[in-house]
Structure 1
Amino acid sequence: MSSTVLANTGDAEAQVSKNSCTTSAASSGISVEVDKSTKKVSFTCGAGINEVQPSNEQSGITQCYTKEVLTEPKDLVSLFGDGSQVTVTPSNGESSDGDKTVTLKLGKLPQTTQTIYFGCTGKSATTGEGQETLAVAAKDEEQKCVVTVTVPADPDANSKPKTPCTLERQNIYLELTSGTKSVSFQCDTDIPTLTPGVDSKAIFDETCAKEVPLADMLPSAKLATEGSRYTFSVDELPETAAAFCYKCSAPATQKGKAPEQQTVACNVKINISPGSLEGAATSATPGSFLALISALLVPSSFLVSF
């Protein structure tokens, strides 16, 4: 066997070892990174700690942890889009005692690099009584290997247009159409607070003054945030044209000036096209319709200049 083959074999074994959670590596854990092109990454939960967490007996693995201490699980689909899933494959067929290969596949990459976590743990203690039970439970508690997964940013994210809302601009205007069912914007660093907030489930009407329930106005609308970037999207356009608004403003602790000395916000005005030609027609104003009829009925003699 040539030295080249031996070197390649050694590299492969080192990579497998690096991506494997074993009982000996449990205290330090392992780190892996999602491939940008395939949006996939695999790791192994070794024998003795081959229970993959977070797990649901009915739905399998549909979540990941957002904290290294393996807390605050969140749905993969909500973080990385439809098609995000985890597949667990036992190395010994149907056997549950050996290694398990875990493959994470993401629907899309985020706009900023994120870190998520999984756990490889031992089976829960179900036997023993008294002190014996406590001893087994303590041992199981030690048999936990944290898998740190780095999810790289979408390479195309930085090439997408970013629209900052600044005090100098005071207003920015975004168009949401059937061709682009989402718009993105940013609040400038000195006015970083968005109102209504992402968790409020509300939005301002076209006057930028009155809050209305987002679900009532646009049932399929969503507002997501990644870092300082906000993305407003809809799955279905409304039947008639609509306009809504968000505000970027300074936090209350920074508003030290008197009201007459400051411009308090920058308005993000979002115009939404109707989902059909019929909707576009019905969204026309009565005045514009009457003007069109009048123009058609005016005798040609009136068009002669005096």
Structure 2
Amino acid sequence: MTYKVMVTPRSFGKGNPQPIDMLREKGCELVLNPYGRILNKQEMKELIRDVDAVIVGVDPIDKEILEQAPKLKIISKYGVGTDNIDLVFAKEKGIPVTVTNGANKDAVADYTIALMLAAARRMIPIDHACRQRNWNKVTSVDVWGKTLGLIGLGAIGKGVAARAKGFNMNILAYDLIKDESYETEHQINYVSLEELLTNSDFISLHLPLTKQTHHLIGEKEIGAMKENAVIVNTARGGLINERALLSALQEKRIWGAGLDVFEQEPPQDVGFLELDNLVIGSHCAASTYQAIENMGVMAAENVLEYLRIH
């Protein structure tokens, strides 16, 4: 039997065609993203109509779109964040949603540390000045021996913690689910969110975006941070109230930020693009060849496993 599989991530099979070959060898007909960008709702509706499975990145899959997919049997998330998928309606329709747990954790953890260092040491404005042959010294803040607050201590948070230990950092963590054995073994202290914000020099977000975590970091929380604090977000843009953060960065009430994610990408407020105390990424923390290969293979395996059984 031939199955039609829609694939939206632009990087799927990039560099290594193994996940594409895996699907085709099992007789799957692929519907690849024809636009070279994140698909909008109308495009999703048109492409998903007669597919049996979809491998999806951050493209929308809400109730309206799922109602246009009567044959859909499985949604295979290319990554771990499912905030772009209507999980409740998918469950009502009996459509399972799988994720690629652990596939990109090292890539995202590496990138988190890179953003932290770049923001702390003002690497982007220094680079820009040097290209203008301006060799003036720029004074910045240390990372070594400082306190890192991790909001979310899952696989990626733990990866960041392991790397931060190499910088002799004291690590605080806030998470509703506590891994107490890990806490003891790695000398990490679970604290309240308020305590973390007040005492951390660096703050990094590693939570899923839900109704409960939406705008978890707002004006009040930013106001509790140290003047020399750096906040990094490689998770989901909606975790931070962007208006509050933009104001704090413009007024230099905190030292800086590193953002790989925004609520709307690219960010609509051009104020973000004018800041020299912000390092911006294009939602590319997970975009390494190894992570892309891992995610692709796992996403394809999840589709094939489900279709084989059912």
Q: TM class by shorter-chain length?
A: under 0.3
From the CA coordinates, give the structure whose radius of gyration is larger: 1
Larger relative helix fraction:
2
TM-score, normalization: structure 2?
0.24
TM-score, normalization: structure 1?
0.24
Q: Which has the higher contact order (CA 8 A, sep 6+)?
A: 2
